[in-house]
Structure 1
């Protein structure tokens, strides 16, 4: 009985250390962001036919999960899902052909962008301490969506659906300010190749308001800029940009 009590006491004493070591060996980060997005640009089904649409400001969302570990040579993993939706009404300044229909100049054309992206990021922490960290890796950005237009007077409409994977470089840098709970980071994925230019950049200030052995919780406020300039991705051409402030919450287990 005495040995059992001693063993139980030892387990209770070592439990906090086990939790701390588990956090060192394996960390899970999960976050959600609301993004006030201003959108601009246009799309088409030909290399010379992009129409410039008056796209409205809209709230988009982003959700992500990251897994970090201490296994040598095996990259960390992050998955990030983002909506990129917007719509508006435009008076065409030139004739526009889409989905087999021709819309003449001065037509009031309703446009809708229903698009999202899923990033699969593999990265290494090249430097990491309590004050500074630097990550570098690759990102396979999977984009899918539907572009829709409709003549507001006649009701003539058309739609085109597309999807594709875009390989990108990825990096992240973070600075922490000791004893304040405050940090700042910049994160980005980018590609510039032939006629394609895609970038996804964000910077934010964070505040950690809960820090415990069980979990950490952090508030984020920042700015994000996404550019999607693609040529013949699943027979779609587009030059779209999204930017605006975001706020988010991250949980670290």
Structure 2
């Protein structure tokens, strides 16, 4: 993880405040993300397919964010974002089994992903075309629990837990219709075999202080923490509602 910190931290000098907000701005939003999970989890050399073997389905997904923008030069704007993904299901392991759980037996599983982002960013463009660049510190916690149903009741837990620096970019383009715009935003890091990507694209409508979005979000996590590794993708449509001041 030190190598990840150096890789992204060294890029800080590339983020310069070319434009700032004219006035103080504050906004908040909540969203629902209808996501599907695919990929693999591994402990040592044992691997399980989270989609085909475990048959995980979404239980609850939530996202909330708040941002603060200001006209003070040099100082970055601030954005906080929280994401929670919870999925569970019943499936059957392949013939090779998984970490003490024999093959071809029924299992019940739970996958939890909890992450909090602190983003510091600058407005590079602020007119009909908007562009923000910055850095994000992501507190990531992911856990997959697989338990045998019946038999010996064997249980295995695969877990990753880290604070990860990521690049941040957001772009939005106002259309020639009052209050309508399209945009995309994302966080990313790739270094020494580990990588994380989190991108979304959306359409937006604003009326008075209210802001509504609908779009598609995809997150890819390929991260190793000790003997445990998650190599998964989470994607699906989302809707959000927010207020801006």
| Bucket of the pairwise TM-score, normalised by the shorter protein | 0.7 to 0.9
* Post-superposition offset of 1:42: 2.8
Q: Distance in 2 between matches of 1:39 and 1:139?
A: 24
Q: Report the TM-score when normalising by structure 1.
A: 0.81
In structure 2, distance between residues paired with 1:63 and 1:190: 19
1:149-171, Cα deviation, whole Å (9 max, x unpaired): 11012233233554211111110
Q: Does 1:219 align with 2:219?
A: no
- Measure how far apart 1:24 and its partner are: 3.9
- Contact 1:36 1:58 (8 Å CA) reproduced: no
- Structure (1 or 2) with the greater helix fraction: 1
Evaluate the alpha carbon distance shift between residue 87 and residue 115 of structure 1 in structure 2; reply closer, same or farther with a 3 A threshold: same
TM superposition shift of 1:179: 4.2
Check the 8 A contact 1:133/1:174 in 2, yes or no: yes
How many Å separate the matches in 2 of 1:128 and 1:109? 52
Where do 1:69-218 residues align within 5 Å?
69-98=70-99, 102-129=100-127, 131-154=128-151, 155-209=153-207, 211=208, 216-218=209-211
SS of the residue corresponding to residue 204 of structure 1 reads: strand
Runs (5+) with no aligned partner, structure 2: 1-20
Structure 2-normalised TM-score? 0.84
Q: Secondary structure at the match of 2:69?
A: strand
Taking a change above 3 Å as real, the CA distance of residues 97 and 91 of structure 1, as seen in their structure-2 partners, is: closer
Query: Which has the larger Rg?
Result: 1
Are the aligned partners of 2:41 and 2:158 in contact in 1 as well (CA < 8 Å)? no
Q: Over aligned residues, Cα RMSD in angstroms?
A: 1.7
Query: Match for 2:239 among 228, 240, 247?
Result: 247
Consecutive unaligned residues in structure 1, runs of 5 or more? 1-22
Query: Distance between the aligned counterparts of 2:193 and 2:109, measured in 1?
Result: 24
